[in-house]
Copies of this chain bind each other. A is one copy, B any other.
Amino acid sequence: MCVAPGGQLLWQGSDHRVILADEPDFPGFCRVVWTGHVREMSDLPPADAVRLMATVLVVERVVRQQLAPDKINLASLGNVVPHLHWHVIPRWVDDSRFPDPVWAAPRRPAPPREIDRTALAAALRAALDGCAGSA
């Protein structure tokens, strides 16, 4: 996560990036990854935390607009990889774990659900380029 994109790079800012995670059960699962070696949100200077969170919320908005999920899940855990990153996860009531968190055991097979990665990436770039998060 420190050096590799960790998925399909959707947007690269000066100090954080947005990737489309390689999670076949969860189409549209995005991660917002801080570039520097930081463990916790409260280790960031406050202005950086605000900018990172602004990007997380832009990703949430764009994912909702593009994919119309039933719910959004946001999380920053980092127990396995203690390098600051956010999960922005669109959830559908028929997905493999709903209403459990994505880290729970599956309740059912994941239904087929195709997303338009090109449109998602374009909408994200349009929303993030020039916004506060990219400074």
In the complex, the answer to whether B73 meets A60 with C-beta atoms within 8 Å is no
Q: A42-B57, A103-B100, A105-B105 are in contact. Are A73 and B79 (CB under 8 A)?
A: yes
Chain B residue with Cβ nearest A64: B42
In the complex, the answer to whether A61 meets B42 with C-beta atoms within 8 Å is yes
What does DSSP make chain A's interface, helix, strand, loop or mixed? mixed
CB proximity to B under 8 Å, residues A93-114: 98-101, 103-105
Chain A contacts to B: CB under 8 angstroms: 39-42, 46, 49-50, 53, 57, 60-61, 64, 71-80, 82, 91, 98-101, 103-105
In the complex, the answer to whether B60 meets A40 with C-beta atoms within 8 Å is yes
Q: A42-B61, A105-B105 are in contact. Are A74 and B76 (CB under 8 A)?
A: yes
Q: Which of B39, B42, B74 contacts A75 (CB 8 A)?
A: B74
